[in-house]
A and B are shown apart, each in its own frame.
Chain A
């Protein structure tokens, strides 16, 4: 009986603390709260370090949330001024994505017409034809919304690689499938008449999109993020990052069916939308925190950027070199490539080019379709058993 009183006390505090964390955007399931109450009872609520670390163990599941947790913890348990929290969380400047509202309206209307009856296919088709060629920079918000339908049609055929997983093979594969052989031997009075085989299966390579969201890319970024959403929605093993002055992982935000909700969430997560670019720094962070750990290993990494970079071009070149060594294929998509007379003069672009396997356009839907083919076709040269990557370095020059 003596333990119920402190237990009840800590339950109330735990729930209030979890609420405060949730208010700052940390997702915590109810089971987390229950676990936290148990944990508090175990370590004792008067033990500051215990209270802190139990919360870290029970409520936090991503290192990205640790800073927020620390701030909320300070405020909640030590009640330092509430105003400090918000200011400490939104360091640097924040610019909102300006086309969001327009999108919402246009999309809502489209949904309504779909309810009323079948969509006017011919009209859509012709408008689609024009849209396909049009430079993203000239798109209206309504066209942007329309593009979603077209983006969805982009098929990311995953470039496969041989997997360790074994699947049944029709006959005389390389490995005997003993499990199935024994099963059929049973049916034949113990005589293994029929032999079954297995072989290595294949699975798509991971696709990593690094989207430049700096000011100079703004006209393209709003279309390209839809492309990223289509990729996440249509294919397994896709990761998306936004690169501006900092690196933000937006895979989870984009992994929603509803495109506008997905993009809203992504835009919320990216605090440096339409800010400056420090591509080299962004790539460094990617390499260090994600790429090298394994995310980029054997993957197809696509950088969507115009190559204007405020940082040191040498640093960018170094990070590109690191990245290229990890990847199966490194693709750079530059929407400006199509501009007449364009030469990769942006210093960042020039520094990065030597390490790029494919350099493609990305200014229109047609160009993106080509990109989808490049992503899918990345394996064509190495079908069969050739495991060594033969990067055709001569083809790289624009």
Chain B
């Protein structure tokens, strides 16, 4: 398998990767190392993990990071409510007085009371295909949390003191994403392959639109992609990502637009830009400007 195979496989499941990204994915699979993706919002970081899962047939396990996330929410936890019920039941049947407290404790910290959170799920999968583990927006988690990850991503194993060690039969495919709100620790980056995801070039964006909005007229797809490229150059508060391009193309196609006109842009602008100032900027630049850039050949 080579980088080109990765690109073809991904495109067959609806994700168009460029040379850089497909090489990075190829290396990540080949060298069994996690892949860290950084880039603007909406360039398709999360989407890649979903496409990988579709391609490999592995289960997509997603860990959305947030501030304050800890091992109990990311790795494993105990089902305390059931444990308490179990204790009361043991008490009610008089079992607790017959058992030593050690035996009772061993019974409580049994695998049936264990709640597997995403990281443990990804490691302890026993089905044939390794799962795709998406650790989304790692920069939102506290830096202490990275230490957990570091250990898990190095050895692909997790130890639950009361039960034992879970070891991945086949290491999962790991994708980490970050929006760079803070620096991710060097030690974690060192474990990972790194790829900075850019906005796609016009040609690729045209392909993406045509792939994701199958019924669209080829000329409209080109116009939308070129218009978006122009809009991105306008220094907006939130430049449109690929998701917005697809939304816009879908909206235009549903409305039966054949090509971009000032009217059709004006009625669908809300799918591309989500801030009032951005809409104002586009309007003050002139919708005819957008049309002109869109229809450029």
Contacts and interface: CB of A to CB of B under 8 A. Distances in A.
B181 A29 contact: no
A186 B102 CA distance: 9
A252 interface: yes
Query: Which of A47, A53, A66, A181 lies at the interface centre, i.e. has the most chain B CB atoms within 10 A of its CB?
Result: A53
Contacts, number: 132
A42 B26 contact: yes
Contacts of A35: 31, 33, 193
Nearest to B105: A186
A31 B190 contact: yes
Given A31-B190, A49-B19, A53-B19, A292 B84 contact: no
B67 interface: yes
B155 interface: no
A182 B69 CA distance: 22
Contact of B190 (A29, A57, A178, A190): A29
A190 B181 contact: no
B96 A43 contact: no
Most buried by A among B28, B189, B193: B193
A165 B142 CA distance: 10
Given A38-B31, A56-B195, A186-B108, A295 B182 contact: yes
B68 A164 contact: yes
Nearest to B113: A182
A182 B88 CA distance: 11
Interface in A161-202: 163-166, 178-179, 181-182, 185-187, 189-192
A293 B24 contact: no
A53 B24 contact: yes
Nearest to B281: A318
A165 B72 CA distance: 12
Chief secondary structure at chain A's binding surface: helix
A294 interface: yes
B interface secondary structure, majority: helix
A192 B85 CA distance: 10
A160 interface: no
Contacts of B90: 190
A54 interface: yes
A60 B24 CA distance: 12
Contacts of B101: 186-187, 189
Contacts of A284: 235
A251 B23 CA distance: 31
Interface residues of A, number: 50
Given A50-B3, A61-B186, A293 B181 contact: yes
A160 to B, nearest CB: 13
A57 B84 contact: no
B57 interface: no
Given A54-B27, A163-B68, A43 B3 contact: yes
B196 interface: yes
A263 B42 CA distance: 37
Contacts of B88: 190
A63 interface: yes
Nearest to A176: B80
Nearest to A164: B68
14 contacts: A35-B193, A42-B26, A43-B2, A57-B20, A57-B28, A61-B189, A63-B196, A181-B80, A182-B83, A186-B101, A186-B108, A293-B41, A294-B181, A295-B181
Closest 9 CB pairs of A and B: A164-B68, A294-B181, A178-B80, A190-B87, A53-B23, A165-B68, A57-B193, A57-B24, A61-B189
Interface of A: 29, 31-32, 35, 38-39, 42-43, 47, 49-50, 53-54, 56-58, 60-61, 63, 66, 163-166, 178-179, 181-182, 185-187, 189-192, 206, 237, 239, 251-252, 284, 287-288, 290, 292-295, 297, 322
